[in-house]
């Protein structure tokens, strides 16, 4: 008998699981992390086999899409064994999509295998096309390696979507050029508002650029037509008439996407967050390790989904200059 679908208290079907396979990253993006980060001890992390078991249980309860995130997922040792193992659910039809979000630094050496294991599209985080600015925003990143990774992914047959965080005074004037370049390379581009998660070096009010303001500026030189295109995530898309490409907007502050949220997030320690912007969470590691049977785990998942809130309350202004939640985005998983 099929397990019951995961329905939250507001009637939303939870069909999308985002899994942070590691909190570690080989970049230190200024809006995401402090430069001197303290990461989790490796002993606290789920094994890749445990992650596979957890993901498989979610799939058994109706999850149709899994996105692997981090930190940077491709720095997790042995990560391709997890991708290969999860690909069995793609072959069976139980899982509709397996994908990941990456900074692109390790993509060149993994792109072929990702495609071979059924990953058809990926998201690459890229906030600027200027190599010097790229080094400044990532602190440790190599722009040329990311470009090499994007090319390798496309050559392997994967669709690439770029994610750019809109940052006041940093890349706001460069975004029209990024749109033209991405669309010219056959890639969608999604613009994201910076989110108030985790303490960073600096004040987020100095970085925050409302997407509503940015969109109005873009409409001075582009014709943006709303389209019904969806990828299962929170982005709302338009077609840019001048380029023929798609442009997405993710607006957790100016117009949050909570009413249609179908997502939950699993951390690399087995903690399940039912909402990105709330601290309520469920420990799935304990029931996972308590029994070889999945009965306790299944009950814990269902109980957690029953607590999924209606939405979050992200705010960034001079009166709310502390993070909405203390954990960094790299811990929760993108």
Q: Is the pLDDT of residue 36 over 70?
A: yes
Among candidate residues 200, 107, 112, the one with its CA nearest the CA of residue 162: 107
Question: Residue 16 has what pLDDT?
Answer: 96
Among candidate residues 210, 195, 121, the one with its CA nearest the CA of residue 162: 121
What value does the mean pLDDT take over residues 266-274?
Answer: 96
Domains of the chain plus CATH, in order, are: 16-332 (3.20.20.70)
Residue 331's pLDDT band (cuts 50, 70, 90): low
Q: Is the pLDDT of residue 332 over 70?
A: no
Distances in whole angstroms, Cα of residue 3 to Cα of each of 56, 187, 302:
12, 37, 10
Over residues 99-155, the pLDDT tens digits come to: 999 999 999 999 999 999 999 999 999 999 999 999 999 998 999 999 999 999 999
Q: Is 9 helix (H, G, I), strand (E, B) or coil?
A: coil
Average pLDDT of the chain is 88
């Amino acid at each position: 008998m099929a397990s019951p679908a995961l329905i939250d208290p507001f009637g939303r079907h939870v069909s999308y699981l985002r899994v942070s396979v590691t909190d570690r990253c080989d970049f230190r993006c200024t809006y995401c992390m402090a430069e001197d980060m303290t990461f989790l001890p490796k002993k606290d992390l789920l094994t890749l086999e445990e992650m596979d078991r957890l993901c498989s249980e979610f799939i058994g309860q109706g999850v149709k899409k899994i996105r692997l995130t981090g930190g940077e997922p491709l720095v997790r040792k042995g990560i391709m064994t997890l991708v290969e193992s999860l690909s069995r659910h793609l072959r069976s039809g139980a899982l509709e999509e397996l994908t990941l979000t990456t900074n692109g630094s390790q993509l060149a050496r993994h792109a072929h295998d990702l495609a071979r294991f059924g990953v058809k599209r990926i998201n690459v985080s890229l906030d600027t096309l200027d190599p010097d600015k790229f080094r400044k925003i990532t602190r440790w990143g190599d722009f040329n390696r990311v470009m090499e990774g994007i090319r390798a992914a496309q050559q392997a047959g994967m669709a690439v979507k770029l994610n750019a965080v809109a940052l006041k005074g940093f890349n706001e004037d460069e975004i029209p050029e990024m749109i033209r370049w991405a669309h010219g390379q056959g890639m969608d581009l999604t613009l994201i508002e910076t989110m108030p998660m985790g303490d960073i070096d600096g004040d987020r009010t100095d970085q925050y650029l409302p997407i509503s303001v940015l969109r109005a500026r873009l409409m001075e030189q582009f014709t943006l037509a709303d389209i019904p295109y969806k990828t299962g995530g929170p982005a709302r898309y338009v077609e840019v008439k001048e380029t023929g490409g798609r442009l997405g907007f993710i607006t957790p502050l100016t117009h949050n996407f909570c009413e249609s949220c179908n997502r939950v997030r699993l951390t690399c320690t087995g903690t399940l967050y039912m909402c990105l912007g709330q601290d309520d969470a469920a420990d799935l590691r304990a029931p996972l390790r308590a029994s070889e049977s999945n009965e306790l785990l299944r009950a814990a998942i269902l109980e957690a989904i029953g607590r999924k809130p209606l939405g979050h309350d992200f705010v960034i202004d001079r009166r709310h200059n502390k993070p909405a939640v203390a954990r960094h985005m790299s811990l929760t998983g993108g």
